[in-house]
Structure 1
Amino acid sequence: MSKERDAEEGNVTVCVRARPLNEREKRLDSPMCLQFQNGRVVRITKTGATNGAESQAGVKAFTFDRAFDSNEGQSALYEYLGLPLLEATFKGFNTCVFAYGQTGSGKSYSMMGPSGGRDVLVDPGIIPRLGKGLFARVRELLEKNRSEREAAQSEGVERSALPPELTMKVLVSYMEIYQERVNCLLSPKCENLKVREHKALGVYVEGLSEVPAESEESMMQLMYGGNQNRHIASTNMNERSSRSHAIFSVTLIQKRLGKTKDGAESSTELRAKVNLVDLAGSERAKSTGAEGGTLREGANINKSLTVLGLVISALADISKSKSDAGSRKHVPYRDSALTFILKESLGGNSKTFMLSTLSPAAANYDETLSTLRYADRAKAIVTRAVVNASAGDKKIRELEEEVRQLKEKMRHYQELVMRGGVGLEALSPRNLNISMPTDMEQRNLLEETESNLFASTPRRGHDAALLAYKIYQSEEVMKRLTEAEGAPNASASLPQISHDMPTIKINRNDPFL
């Protein structure tokens, strides 16, 4: 891991999990082809179709961060994947878990539980357990903050010295990618949504619904309701085969509101997004018995998974050869809606976990070996996760402090000039200890302002507006100070902010303020 503050670099965490033999495999009397060792090593053996003898292909071994055999339950899976993910989320890191594997190998069961998480009390998967842990932690932190503030108030602590007031918000979105079309599962009428990319905001889905969740129960209702809108079909391999990739996203917003020593309002915000991805299963037409529309669905599923494989391979190659700039290669994110949407999760600002699900039956040897190779390749990918603290708030506080100091200096020198105690040259930017930004810095600042103006929340829009105003105000002061150096009349040339300047009305009742 990188030791740089607020950023952590590391490899994608890759786990594999085998389910028990299902009824179909038991009827086929299929022998087992998997063995697990030390919780990390998986050995796969190709056996003969008639007598179970090992073929010339022999035994292949793979080592992962964690390997779960069919005897390990949902709680063990959550403890290894879910708890670290939850901890990272509260620190402000984006996170992602995506489940990949053959159709019917246990992806949806691992992510949601039986029957798509309909009954969260029966063997719940990662998402229901994450929801429970998330809201338990939210309640704990809010109660702790309330107690600390009340204790400080009872001791007569000044308002500016009180612990900042903590507010927290959880937002949920749920989408499916069906035949390269992106549909909102929380608003069924929102179909064929456009995937966009902004230089600062990254990749986003235009028009995707984002719904507040007040509790784990409401979060699970959203998940199950969305599952009812998801495309499914029956195949030989899976009675309820998902025909689409699904991305259940949870955004946690932590905001701390306080007062500075001079009574001004201050705020900090952490915003972290969790992508929980249930991929459609890889499949072979011969095995699934798919025909007609179901066959075409399978072809589209395999196409997007093929692109995902190409992206994983390209990212793995890049991670292995970072020192050789000439070896960098194109990553085909845009070749599929799935990989485009998961661009940050796969190779950008995210702590990412891959769960590969396996059938232990020798009848599925080829598909299982393919999944193991897929997962083995992903181990080499390196991501760099950054704490998502509100850059707008930080920049605004810096500019506000700069303007405050500037105004104090102007008032001080104005008094001296009016009393005749200082020459006009004292009002120069140099003597006021003001550093004029370079052209590059100005361009970067303007780009940041532009980026914030396109942000998707009222708070970010407010931040951008206030930031733009402060930039304009500071530049206006700088210009007037510079003009004042050569003016014939000091009292007439003292810097003032014109009433003709564009102003922005700010609603102080804005809950995001």
Structure 2
Amino acid sequence: MAASNTGETVRVIVRCRPMNQRENDLQSQTIVSMDTQTNQVMLENLEQTNEPPKQFTFDAVYPENSITESIYTDSVFPLVESVLEGYNATVFAYGQTGCGKSYTMQGVNTPGSPQRGIIPRSFEHIFEASSVAAGTKYLIRASYLEIYNESIRDLLGKDIKAALDLKEHTDKGVYIQNLTWHQCTNVEDCERLMDKGNKNRATGATLMNKDSSRSHSIFTILTEMCSRSEVDGKEHIRAGKLNLVDLAGSERQSKTHAEGERLREATRINLSLSALGNVISALVDGRSKHIPYRDSKLTRLLQDSLGGNTKTLMVAAISPAHDNYEETLSTLRYANRAKNIKNKPHINEDPRDAQMRVLQEEINRLKQELLGAGNTNRGNQSSLTDGQVSLFVLL
């Protein structure tokens, strides 16, 4: 492994969506203003007219007329570039139900649209970069899971309702047993997986959002790169991992009027988001000897992204309406704490379990078998070797 950096803080950006139909019907007033030069958010409390607006400063702010293309170019592009260098990176969206988290992460499903989401843009970025990297072999795989009512489900598995177990390994860290991984050779492969997983996600209508996500989802892309060093002539493997996290929205029962199953879902969602808040608070406190990662499945899965070996970006989504003052203030305070978390990312070189190494060893074994068999069937040797080599994505 490359030497560890001294550390870098979690980057936090804030995006404010336009008023929605519900807020317009309620004749809501705008209480959020943003200064894109100083990256400040000002939040006004209409019930306390004698106090000045609360101010928060972040790494970047995106007002109501912003486009996802700008967010990607400014804040996400550098993270994905680092994944292609062998780092781990995480982008996660946080905020109240109906504030545009899924819209920012997945966006308009039209190539070329300025509102195309972070996830499909990441697909395009990775395959475009890998297509021009001469002399480097790529293996790109993806998984898609959700955490629903504290159960982990494989959105691409044969049985999407089966609960998967979280395990911990001394080398691999926290991982999910029996989670399926799917090889991708182009953008379309990734998009098909995302579409399939989205159809399997738990969603439901609430008063705040008719298509509310009732689960946290994590789309992960593993990129393994094998290239020959000009220094020693040996092949070196680097492995980068990109986690794209769409968190379920925080919500108050008094607003959603949730009952029955919806209420149970909301309770689980709020508990896991509260656990995430506790982890963030403990990390920035400086005095906490114990970080409560084990309090929820979500915090265990994000353990490496918060205080670990990962470059992390948090996208906080907010509403501009005065009706959502308390929720917006809570989101901004949450995000303000998160920007003080320090991670220690390093390049992942020569992982012991790198899938590319396993495939390369199989190719070498088959070559030796063919050579040992003599020259009786040179045609088969050439065909089989090429067939095995095609297990790699050669770009």
Identity percentage of aligned residues: 40
Residue 175 (structure 2) aligns with:
204
* Equivalent runs, 1:374-385 vs 2, <5 Å: 374-385=334-345
SS at 1:168 equivalent: strand
Q: Report whether the alignment pairs 1:229 with 2:220.
A: no
SS at 1:363 equivalent: helix
Structure 1 residue identity aligned to 2:43: I
Q: Can you give the 5+ residue segments of structure 2 that lack an aligned partner in the other structure?
A: 362-384
Deviation, structure 1 residue 139 = 0.7
Residue 413 (structure 1) aligns with:
none
Distance change in 2, residues 1:136/1:20 (3 Å): same
Residue 126 (structure 1) aligns with:
118
Contact persistence 1:35–1:44 (CA under 8 A): yes
Separation in structure 2 between the aligned mates of residue 342 and residue 259 of structure 1, nearest angstrom: 36
Which of 72, 82, 103 is 2:76 aligned to? 82
Distance change in 2, residues 1:458/1:15 (3 Å): closer
TM-score under structure 1 length normalisation: 0.67
Q: Report whether the alignment pairs 1:182 with 2:152.
A: yes
Deviation, structure 1 residue 459 = 2.6
* Equivalent runs, 1:37-436 vs 2, <5 Å: 37=35, 38=37, 40-48=39-47, 54-114=48-108, 117=109, 119-122=110-113, 123-141=115-133, 145=134, 165-190=135-160, 191-257=162-228, 266-318=234-286, 327-390=287-350
Deviation, structure 1 residue 358 = 0.3
Separation in structure 2 between the aligned mates of residue 269 and residue 83 of structure 1, nearest angstrom: 22
Distance change in 2, residues 1:360/1:227 (3 Å): same
Which of 357, 361, 365 is 1:459 aligned to? 357
SS at 1:352 equivalent: strand
Distance change in 2, residues 1:259/1:47 (3 Å): closer
SS at 1:246 equivalent: strand
Contact persistence 2:97–2:248 (CA under 8 A): yes
Deviation, structure 1 residue 458 = 6.9
Separation in structure 2 between the aligned mates of residue 292 and residue 206 of structure 1, nearest angstrom: 31
Distance change in 2, residues 1:224/1:8 (3 Å): farther
User: Cα deviation per residue 1:46-71 (whole Å; 9 max; x = unaligned)?
Assistant: 114xxxxx534541000001111111
Deviation, structure 1 residue 462 = 8.8
Distance change in 2, residues 1:188/1:366 (3 Å): farther
Deviation, structure 1 residue 329 = 1.9
Residue 370 (structure 2) aligns with:
none
Residue 435 (structure 1) aligns with:
none
User: Cα deviation per residue 1:423-450 (whole Å; 9 max; x = unaligned)?
Assistant: xxxxxxxxxxxxxxxxxxxxxxxxxxxx
Separation in structure 2 between the aligned mates of residue 208 and residue 459 of structure 1, nearest angstrom: 20
Separation in structure 2 between the aligned mates of residue 170 and residue 56 of structure 1, nearest angstrom: 56
SS at 2:306 equivalent: helix
Contact persistence 2:224–2:354 (CA under 8 A): no
Q: Which has the higher contact order (CA 8 A, sep 6+)?
A: 2
Deviation, structure 1 residue 354 = 0.5
Structure 2 residue identity aligned to 1:127: I
Separation in structure 2 between the aligned mates of residue 45 and residue 95 of structure 1, nearest angstrom: 34
SS at 1:171 equivalent: strand
Deviation, structure 1 residue 379 = 1.0
Contact persistence 1:113–1:120 (CA under 8 A): no
Deviation, structure 1 residue 169 = 1.5
SS at 1:29 equivalent: coil
Q: Can you give the 5+ residue segments of structure 1 that lack an aligned partner in the other structure?
A: 49-53, 146-164, 319-326, 392-451, 464-507
Deviation, structure 1 residue 23 = 0.5
After the TM superposition, list the runs of 4 or more consecutive aligned residues in structure 1 that deviate by more than 3 angstroms: 4-8, 54-58, 119-122, 257-261, 455-458, 460-463, 508-513
